[in-house]
């Protein structure tokens, strides 16, 4: 069935997840899309093929500041925030917290004014270094509020709290999604994440850098699966507000992931070991039973297939 054409605002629309989402909402579903980004970690090059379309509008704006939009908005996806540890920590840490919190308030106010549905991109980081495995939405998490990751983890936790309060107090139609590690085309080549680092190191014939001994685990979801999940969450009935996990439950140790990349790209390269960053979670794997039940969704793209597409993307831009 053809969906009704909507006007959809995507904050963080020129980032990795945002640009993939804008592409889908615009090209496959023929909506009007308003993309908001300050291009701190996103980039206009991620918007190739859509930026020139008549039903696409790009507004350069930092969501830490309030925003007036003339168009009547039906839906908002709040994705704006640096998401890679190297981008959100250090000198950017305070701005990261502001982006999470002031950004949430500004986007929620926009949703309230427009009577729009709003989806918050929360994160598996709200579970911190989890003491329960896999992580279910009912788990409250184990976050160090004083650590280097806290600007992001606690920022995202506070943003969730703001979303639920806007729903309780003002009846704003919210959806809170906890996104687990995701990879694919339009990831920032320099953002220091494990997938982009390992692929680019292997393509350049450099050592693969493992932090710690590589026994820590992550579960990697291909971007197309995530985008499908996000849109399905947005389309749920108003009573469904989350939180809901989206991710791929196949878990890999970082060392086994390094070997998969070596086997795919270049078996001759070496692995070198570097110190494990503070508070780096030891295990991470989503419990996706709620997504299966409510959305009839689960990740379908295998790691092999997703990596092939991602390697092709990075080979073209290196
Ligand atoms: N990691 C690594 N080598 C790298 C980049 C990351 O061993 O070059 C590790 C990192 O310490 C973490 C995991 O890979 O345990 C995932 O890191 P990423 O930054 O991709 O995401 P996170 O899940 O930590 O936010």
Q: pLDDT for 123-150, tens place per residue? A: 999 999 999 999 999 999 999 999 999 9
pLDDT value at position 313?
98
Q: How far does residue 210's CA lie from ligand 1's centre (Å)?
A: 8
Please compute the mean of the pLDDT values over residues 146-167 and round it to a whole number.
97
φ, ψ of residue 312 to 5 degrees: the values are: -60, -45
pTM of the model: 0.97
Tokens of 165: 């309060």
Testing ligand 1's pocket by substitution, the residue of 218, 219, 269, 274 carrying the most ligand atoms inside 8 A of its CB is: 218
Residue % of the chain over a pLDDT of 70: 99
Q: What would the pLDDT profile of 223-239 be if each residue is shown by its tens digit?
A: 999 999 999 999 999 99
- Output the furthest CA–CA distance in the chain (Å, rounded): 59
Q: Which residues are catalytic?
A: 152
For range 205-219, the mean pLDDT? 97
Q: What is the mean pLDDT of residues 97-110?
A: 98
Closest to 258 in 3D by CA, of 228, 292, 216: 216
Q: What is the pLDDT of residue 3?
A: 74
Classified as helix, coil or strand, 126 is: helix
pLDDT at position 273 is: 98
Query: In angstroms, what is the span from residue 52 Cα to ligand 1's centroid?
Result: 35
Q: Is the pLDDT of residue 160 over 90?
A: yes
**Mean pLDDT in residue range 45-50:** 97
- Nearest atom within ligand 1 for CA of residue 284: 23
Stated length of the chain? 318
Average pLDDT over residues 286-311: 98
Closest C-alpha residue for ligand 1 atom 3: 210
Q: Are the CB atoms for 26 and 95 separated by under 8 Å? A: no
Residue (of 106, 157, 114, 153) closest to 278 by Cα position: 153
Q: Check whether 1 has a pLDDT greater than 70.
A: no
Residue that the structure tokens 């997938």 belong to:
195
Pocket of ligand 1 (CB under 6 A): 84-85, 181, 193-194, 197, 209-211, 216, 218, 254, 277, 280
For residues 152 and 150, give the distance between their C-alpha atoms in angstroms, rounded to a whole number.
5
In this structure, what token pair is assigned to residue 317? 């831009």
Domains located in the chain, CATH noted:
7-180+222-247+280-301 (3.40.50.720)
Query: pLDDT-based confidence at 57, cuts 50/70/90?
Result: very high
pLDDT level of residue 256 (50, 70, 90 thresholds): very high
The residue whose CA is least distant from atom 16 of ligand 1 is: 194
Tell me the mean pLDDT in the region 270-284: 94
DSSP-assigned letter for residue 206: P
- Using a 10 angstrom Cβ sphere, with 0-12 exposed, 13-18 middle and 19 or more buried, the burial of residue 280 is middle
pLDDT range class, residue 2, cuts 50, 70, 90: low
């Amino acid at each position: 069935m053809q969906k009704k054409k909507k006007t959809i605002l995507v904050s963080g629309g020129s980032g990795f997840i945002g640009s993939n989402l804008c592409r889908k909402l615009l090209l496959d579903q023929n909506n009007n899309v308003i993309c908001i980004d300050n291009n701190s970690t996103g980039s206009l090059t991620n918007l190739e093929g859509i930026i020139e379309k008549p039903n696409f509008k790009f507004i350069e704006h930092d969501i830490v500041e309030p925003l007036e939009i003339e168009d009547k908005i039906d839906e908002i996806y709040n994705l704006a925030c640096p998401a890679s540890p190297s981008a959100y920590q250090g000198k950017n840490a305070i701005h990261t917290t502001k982006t999470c919190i002031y950004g949430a308030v500004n986007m929620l106010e926009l949703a309230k004014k427009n009577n729009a549905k709003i989806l918050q991109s929360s994160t598996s980081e709200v579970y911190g270094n989890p003491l329960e495995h896999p992580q279910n939405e009912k788990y409250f998490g184990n976050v160090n509020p004083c650590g280097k990751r806290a600007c992001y983890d606690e920022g995202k936790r506070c943003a969730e709290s703001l979303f639920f309060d806007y729903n309780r107090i003002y009846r704003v139609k919210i959806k809170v999604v906890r996104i687990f590690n995701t990879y694919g085309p339009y990831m920032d080549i320099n953002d220091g994440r494990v997938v982009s680092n390992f692929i680019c190191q292997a393509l350049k014939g450099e050592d693969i850098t493992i932090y710690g001994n590589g026994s820590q685990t992550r579960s990697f979801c291909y971007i197309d699966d995530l985008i499908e999940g996000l849109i399905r969450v947005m389309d749920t009935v108003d009573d469904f507000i989350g939180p809901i996990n989206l991710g791929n439950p196949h878990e890999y140790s970082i060392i086994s992931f390094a070997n998969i990349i070596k086997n795919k790209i270049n078996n001759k390269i070496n692995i070198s070991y570097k110190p494990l960053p503070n508070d780096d979670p030891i295990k991470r794997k989503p419990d996706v039973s709620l997504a299966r039940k409510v959305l009839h969704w689960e990740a379908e793209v295998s790691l092999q297939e997703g990596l092939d597409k991602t390697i092709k993307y990075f080979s073209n831009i290196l």
